[in-house]
Amino acid sequence: MTDLQFLEQAVDVKAEKILAANDKIWEYAELAFHETKSAALLTSILRDEGFTVVTGCAGIPTCFTGAFTYGSGGPVMGILGEYDALSSLSQKAAEPQKEPVKAGAPGHGCGHCALGTGSLAAALAVKEYLIANKKAGTVIYFGCPAEEGAGSKQFMARAGMFDGVDFIYTWHPATKNAVDNSHNNAIMGANFEFTGIAAHAGGCPHLGRSALDAVELMSVGCNYLREHTIPEARIHYAYIDAGGTAPNVVQDHAIVRYEVRSPLVSQVKELFERVKNVARGAALMTDTTVRCDLSMAFTEYIPNNALAAVADECLREVGAPKWDASDYALAKAFLETYNEQTMASIREEIAELYGEERVGEILARPLDSEVHPFSPDKVRIVAGSTDVGDVGCAAPTLNINVATACVGNVGHSWQMTAQSCSPLAHKGLLTAAKAIALSCVRTMDRPDVIAAAKKEVLKRNGGSYTCPLPDSVLPPLETY
């Protein structure tokens, strides 16, 4: 039996348990830092499978590790899992018409239920491989909450949780099968809390100092700032507290949340200081005060090329998920839910990935049924951000994408929620588990690859990981 055959069998034996866990976590749909039931389910499975579990890591109740060691324990392999949901994306499972389970409730619109359980299946398969082949090694499943919130991996890295780990693999639900070639933006975010003076807006407005005015002026200032940033930069905001609902009261408090992105964390820090200056100016103009509560920051994610070469080969051996006619029909039903503007964009994506001559073919059977090669020369900057970047700045790390949704699917949508508890996600997450497990066992036998991967990290971090957040910033368990 080859390594691939062994690992495929190991994953398939656990498939029923793993898929049930995916569907249960999908049902829980717990928001960032509140994934209590999801974490409990994952740790329960790890304990049942002989892993040593540590909970409450890095000061986060829903952060945990599950480790299994055989023999001398080296090399040490890490696998990342996530399990948080997104707000307001509730949707019935596998239903291609918008119909929430509960209106306004959270939903797994990024597929982290599949991410966490697929990674778990990989960890279980690697454990079985170590035992069956009497090979020394340690596999650690890192339970990482709140990726959709303020993140957790930067706090985990700051706490030294990835120190001594030789290499780390993870994956993400996607619309195509490929080693991720994205250079994700770094990001930094904070709540800006303005404080003014309340007064009767009709009777004595001159006595009031409006915190809401300050927030709105900050928005104006940031809108002008956007013209004077690099093209890749992004500035986002959301009103957290508008100061009340009574127009005849001068609002004495208001909170706005800003997040800024750029390709490098050094650029993000510079841009964030400019945003802070805008906030100070808004406070000065309105005679209010402002407090900046820095809560989140992610380092940019860049693929580790040494690991990518191994994972690319392994993913090709495993192959794409084995779709059938019912899968293609379901995917087509989801694709048809998008409006014409979105479809035009999807057609462009299809033409770029598959070629103009195949657009009609892919639209008729809109599931990725092939594996696309990785090339370090084609790594591209994308606007999104992930706290996986901080792991990659602490230890060699690589992300793999595996299809769990229709070609062109828009992430963070009700469509993604529905597909994350469907045969599409089920087949995708089991495929991802096999690819990660094979990548782990291949890498552990390649000290040259491990050395090259560590050299890449050393070039990035200069010798040690530096968290983009100061030590005084704790995980914002209830405020972000």
Residue 290 sits in the same domain as residue 342: no
Residue 255 sits in the same domain as residue 373: no
Q: CA dist 147 to 15, 61, 86, Å?
A: 25, 14, 10
264-281 pLDDT, tens digit each: 999 999 999 999 999 999
Residue 476 lies in a domain: no
CATH code assigned at 231:
3.30.70.360
Residue 400 lies in a domain: yes
pLDDT of 36 > 90? The answer is: yes
| Percent of the chain scoring above 70 in pLDDT | 100
What mean pLDDT is predicted for residues 41-45? Answer: 98
pLDDT of residue 16: 98
Residue 144 sits in the same domain as residue 275: no
Domain boundary among 244, 269, 296: 296
Residue 470 lies in a domain: no
pLDDT of residue 480: 81
Q: CA dist 47 to 50, 65, 207, 290, 383, Å?
A: 5, 11, 62, 47, 38
281-293 pLDDT, tens digit each: 999 999 999 999 9
Residue 436 lies in a domain: yes
pLDDT of 297 > 90? The answer is: yes
User: How many domains does the chain fold into?
Assistant: 2
Residue 31 sits in the same domain as residue 41: yes
- How far, in Å, CA of 26 to CA of 38, rounded? 9
Domain boundary among 263, 296, 329: 296
156-184 pLDDT, tens digit each: 999 999 999 999 999 999 999 999 999 99
354-381 pLDDT, tens digit each: 999 999 999 999 999 999 999 999 999 9
Kindly report the pTM of this predicted structure. 0.96
Residue 246 domain boundaries: 186-296
Residue 115 lies in a domain: yes
CATH code assigned at 416:
3.40.630.10
Residue 426 sits in the same domain as residue 385: yes
pLDDT of 441 > 90? The answer is: yes
What mean pLDDT is predicted for residues 127-151? Answer: 98
Q: How confident is the model at residue 479 (pLDDT cuts 50, 70, 90)?
A: confident
- How far, in Å, CA of 366 to CA of 190, rounded? 39
Residue 469 lies in a domain: no
Residue 206 sits in the same domain as residue 313: no
Residue 474 lies in a domain: no
Domain boundary among 254, 274, 296: 296
Residue 175 sits in the same domain as residue 198: no
332-347 pLDDT, tens digit each: 999 999 999 999 999 9
Pairing, β 371-372 against β 289-298: unpaired
pLDDT of 255 > 90? The answer is: yes
Q: First-to-last CA distance in the chain?
A: 49
What mean pLDDT is predicted for residues 32-36? Answer: 98
Residue 242 lies in a domain: yes
